[in-house]
Every structure is written in structure tokens, then in C-alpha cells.
Amino acid sequence: MHRLHFVPTPFALAAFLLASSAAHAQTVAADADAAIPTVTVTASADASAKGLSRAYAGGQVARGGRMGILGNVDIMSSAFSSTSYTQQFIADQQARSVGDLLQSDPAVRLSRGFGNFQEVYMIRGFALDSDDVGYNGLYGVLPRQYVSPELLERVEVFRGASAFLNGAAPGGSGNGGAINLMPKRAGNAPLTEATAGLESGGHAYAAFDLGRRFGDQQQFGVRINAAKRGGETSVAREEHTVSMFSVGLDYRARNVRLSADVGYQDFDLDAPRPSVGTAGVTAIPAAPDGGSNYSQPWSFSKERDVFGTMRAEADLGNDLTAWAAFGTRSTRESNSLAEPALSSLDGKANVYRFDNARKQEIRTGEFGLRAKVRTGPLAHALVASWSGHWNEAKNAYAISNFAGFPTNIYRPVDAIAPAPDFFTGGVMSDPRLTQKTILTSYALADTVSLLDDRLLVTLGARRQTIKDAGFAYGTAQQTSQYDDSAITPVAGLVYKVDERVSVYANYIEALVKGPVASGNIAGGGQVANLGEVFAPYKSKQKEAGVKLDGGKLGMTAAVFTTDKPLLAVQGQLAGLFGTQTNRGVELSVFGAPLRGVRVLGGLTLLDTEQSDTGNPAHNGKQAIGAPKTQLNAGVEWDVAGVRGLSLNLRTLYTSTQYADLANTKQVPAWTRVDIGARYLTSIGERTLTLRARIDNAANRNYWASTGSSFDAGYLVAATPRTVVLSGSLAF
């Protein structure tokens, strides 16, 4: 049954857009020399004097992006590897989530959290949880499981450890990279845009985007965004409903910049297709039909978020700038989950019910100073900052009998929802405090320029303190705690061979809070120290690379190695005994090498290895969910002779990966092809953009990723062929 939690307005608007396009086609063709109006928006999402880095040729990525406390840095002056995707690219991809957009990044693969539906981004073979994504430089402000792309001006991907630049990720991930999302701001030109769309399964979409500037010098800006998605997806019976509203404000004066954002998001999933556990099988069975759904009809996931940020920057002199920022989020979340655990290769599986309720309050902030100083032939860019993050989480859970009930991922069996009263923790209607995390840090850095700014050397360090306390479900009595500090240094070097070539190298570390002891001992049974919370640990990265700027075409190449402590079981105890080493080579290409042709893609070659785990069966083996090869190739071209029409093609390849630490369960390689089109025309003085996209055009059935919950891998099925249509009218 299709239940569209939606109003008919989007359908009417979509019909109007398509009809208007047809009615005006002859007029546009007859006046082929007439210019199609476009809307150019210059945003200053970060409240900085320079604003965001300008777009590179082709408009899909920017020339630079935010490097944490170092601010916005041009790609050719950066000692790190990163890509900043523009709002134009977000819109043209018709991205439905951050993960949807990042399918185009060759260093990133999309996965999912264990037992839930939050996005997990695998960067350089390490997981980055959606909890640990930044918003305008602040952690934990945006909704936890899903972020509406209508909020965003830029999606910035930083590849590599980043504890010095951004501080420790509060959720305990981010060893291989970071993601920062930049909010929309009112541009210099007025903007009023309405968008409506449909996709396979009857899922409907509508959005509204309004931007205006006020004042005698246009110093005040307002940007309002609203969006609604609802209906069944291309996966049978699965329904997504999203409501989002946000307001972005900014003030620009000669020596002061201010900005603020407030937003609300309501995210509901009904009968969402879950991940599949693999602990009970010795190999990976074939993926089921991509459009099938083995969820239970009573399963759901709901999340409500209210969030906001404020940021200020003031020039205290010609070469001294101060900044401060604050962010907050309040979350209410509830779930009824039923993840099948495979018991045989013919698809048989066992399911039990897991309900949980969650409340979370986040407060975060930072302030700092940037100064420019010259000492003889050396120019210094100095920065000092302090940051703090406070997180209080309240949780409760209720689980049905672990014996569960049978189903089959190829022939699903719907069961009556069992009572979740076999094993409980806390009160579902009134969750109590279960975790409190406080992170504070201060950082100092100096970027020295010499040889007429051809050589840039960055040195710095951050002292981070992590306080984490656990509390018993229901009673809120403290059960564990740690209070630990560490210093994470950074060293970066950039040498500009000429205007077109830069070579770089860096050493940088990641710092995350320690994991919780879990796992099974040899012969069966759980570890003796189950639930023990370990102290924070570091990952250490070395990287070197080269960047080429051809004006119209940009390329980067990097080699890297990262060592990370590994949670392993030795004897009766779990601990940080082992080491995981990820080594790799990255290549990326972007720009517009020919008139009317835009390219975006790259290649990641990755080798992972576990060592000193205490288990000979794991030593020398690859990590879970880390494919050796990731290849992306995207091209868009303007069709000659058909003014305003562009076609695009994207191919994604992911090699085999393992779903267990002993590397006995191999997930097959997969290739996916996406195709699309965009048509730009005018209705009077208004700009109409029609977009169409077909994801997984060949309708391939495959396991898209495998995640890890300690030593147990789980599988995420790919979505089937999905058609997405939309129309945007700019007034």
C-alpha cells in the first residue's frame, strides 16, 4: 500500500513546470540567440572576510575549503587532501542525502551504522559516523542519522586524520577523514526558487529556497529553506518521510561578520530495509532482489531534531582577527528494529525485536585568534583556539526473546510484533542519563611562508581532554568514567614548483575516545571485561602528494599510511592489543577540460592489514569493509545543437571486501552505472531547470557495503534501479 504523507501541491507544481517547458519550447528554439538568465549566488557561509573559496572550472567542486582552525585554504596551498562539493553539484545530482552526494567521491564509500539507519562514511578504509560530521566547523550540531541536503551550500571532504585541525570527533570515529557541511547564505542577487520532484515507488518531493539581502549596503542577509519528502521508495513497502525548515541569517560590515542558523528536521522511516548479520554463516550468500524488502512491517525509526549555530568574526586590526562560534542540538529518537541474522546460505535468518528510545542534548563552541606577523624574510600566519563540546545522552531499550522468529531474505516472512519484554534497560517512556561526554581543547599553529610564498611550512599542536562517563540504564548511577588528555601534533609542507604544480607532505594524528570492551573468547562466550570503557587512543598518519592546476583541469595524487590501535581479544579479555594499518594511493581529477565537458572522478587503491591481534587467524588479514580498489568516473557534456541540454554518466566500481576479521567471508565486487540529464530553459524572465537521473541503471543486485560491530560483519543491500525527476523554477 502506498501511503504518501504528502500534500498534492508538489504534483501540481511538477505538472505546471513540465507543461510550461513544453509550451515555451518553440519560443526558445526560435530565439536561439537569446540569453538564458541564471542566478549567481555569492555566499559567505563561514562568516569570514574572504567567504567561501570560488568554484573551480566546471562548477562541481571549489578551489579550496575549510581546514579546521586554519580557515579556508586554496587547494594549491594546502598540505592535505580534500574536496569541496558545491551547491550547484548538490542540486544537479538531485542528492537526497549527504551519502547520496558522496557516491561521487573516489575515497568514500557509504555504509550504515550497526543495527540502525544512520549513514556511515568509509574514508580511506575507516568509518566516519554521521554523529561526527561537522557543521560550519562545529561537531554534533546537525541531526544524527540523516541530514537534508537542502540545508547545504558546500559538502567538504577532508581525507586523513584531523584531530589537530578540528579537535577529536566526539562520537569516537574519524580516523581516516572528516566531513564538514557548510550552510546556505543569502547571495548578492535575490533568489526565489521552488522545486518539485518524484522518484521510483511514488516518493514525492518539494522544496522552497528564498534568499534576500537588506540594508543600504546589503549588509543583512536572510536565507530560508523548507523541504518535504514522503512516500514509498524504490524498495517495496519502505517509506521515508522528511520535513525540514531552516533560517540562515548573516550581517556583513567592514570589520565585523555575524551569522546564525536555526533549523528543524523530522525524519521518519516505516518498514525500512535493515542490514543483515553474517555471524551465523561461513560465506556470503547472493544479494536478494534490490527492490525486495525483508523488513518487518511494524519496524520504524523516528528522529526529531532542533538545532542552531551562531558565529562571529571581528577584525581587531589590519593583521589580527578574532572569531567565536556556538552550536546546540536537541534530539528525540525512537526505534523498533528487526535485523535478520543469517543462519544458512539459502537465506534463512533469525530475527528478534529491539526497541530503543533516545534523548540527546549537545552544546559546542569555540573561539580563537588569527594573526599575520613578519619576521625578516618570513611571513607567519598564527592561530590560537579553544574548543569545547558537551554531550548528554539518555537511553532506554527493550528487547524481545533472543530466540526470535524465522524469516528468509529471499522469501520474507511477516511476523506479529513480539513483546519487547525479555530484556530491558531503563524506562522507554522516560529514558534516563546513560552517557555524558565532555571534550575540551586548545591549539596553537604557525604557517610560515618563505621563498616568495612558494614554500609553506605548518607546525602546530592541540592538547585535547576527553571526559566520558557511563551511567546505568534506569537508575542513572555512574558505572564507569575516564578523564584523559593527549597532545596531537601536525606538520605540513607545501612547495609550489610553479603556478600549476604543488607538492606536499604531512604528518597528522587522529584522537578518538576509547571503545567499549566486547567480543567472544575462543570456544564461545563473551569476554570477561565486557562493557569496560577504554581510554582515548591515537591514529598516526603520514602522507605525501602532488597537485596540478591546469586552469580548466585539476588533478591530485597522494600516498598515505595510517596506523590505528585495534580492539582485539587475548585470552579472556578484550583490549587495544592489535594494530590496523591502512596504506593507499589516491588519484582524483576534476574540472572542464573541453568546452561543454565536465569531469569528476578518481581512483583509490587501499591495502589494510591487522597485526599483533593475539589471534593468528586474524594477523596479516584485511580489515572489514575496506575494498582494495574504488574507482569513480563521472562526465557531463552539453549536447551540441540542443541549447540548454546536458547529459551525464557516472560509473562506480568497488572491489571485493571482507565481512569478517579472518577474511573467510568475501563480499563480491560490484559496478554501478548512473545516467542523467539536465535541461535549462526560460519562462519569460524566469529560469526553469528540469533534471532526470537513473541510479543503478542496469538494475544490478549486490551487497553495497559491509560494516563491522567488532568482529561481526553485517551487509547492506544496494537499492534497485531508481528514477528521479525534478523541476526547479527560479523567480
pLDDT tens-digit profile of 618-665?
A: 999 999 999 999 999 999 999 999 999 999 999 999 999 999 999 999
- Give one DSSP letter per residue of 533-571, joined into a string: BPPPEEEEEEEEEEEEE-SSEEEEEEEEEEEEEEEEEET
CA–CA separation, 550 and 141 (whole Å)? 37
Question: Residue 462: pLDDT band by 50, 70, 90 thresholds?
Answer: very high
When divided into structural domains, the chain yields a total of 1
What does the block give as the cell for 439? Answer: 571534550
Nearest to 120 by CA among 250, 270, 275, 239: 275
Nearest to 144 by CA among 377, 304, 9, 337: 304
Question: Which pLDDT score is estimated for 16?
Answer: 33
Give me the mean pLDDT over the 484-498 stretch: 96
Lowest mean pLDDT among 111-120, 191-200, 518-527, 554-563: 518-527
CA–CA separation, 287 and 717 (whole Å)? 7
Q: Is residue 21 part of a domain?
A: no
Instruction: Output the 3-class SS for 248-317.
Output: EEEEECCCEEEEEEEEEEEEEEECCCCCEECCCCCCCCCCCCCCCCCCCCCCEEEEEEEEEEEEEEEEEE
At residue 74, does pLDDT exceed 90?
Answer: yes
CA–CA separation, 365 and 533 (whole Å)? 26
Q: Is residue 659 part of a domain?
A: yes
Q: Is residue 251 part of a domain?
A: yes
Residue located via cell numbers 537521473: 693
> Both ends of the chain: CA-CA distance in Å?
37
Residue located via cell numbers 528487547: 399
Q: Is residue 521 part of a domain?
A: yes
Q: What is the CATH number of the domain that holds 262?
A: 2.40.170.20
Question: Which pLDDT score is estimated for 15?
Answer: 36
CA–CA separation, 401 and 420 (whole Å)? 7
pTM flag (> 0.85)? yes
Q: Is residue 484 part of a domain?
A: yes
3 state DSSP class of 650: strand
Q: Is residue 25 part of a domain?
A: no
What does the block give as the cell for 706? Answer: 559491509
Q: Is residue 27 part of a domain?
A: no
Lowest mean pLDDT among 275-289, 535-549, 709-723: 709-723
Lowest mean pLDDT among 26-35, 83-92, 258-267: 26-35
Q: Is residue 665 part of a domain?
A: yes
Query: What range does the domain containing 299 cover?
Result: 41-730
At residue 24, does pLDDT exceed 80?
Answer: no
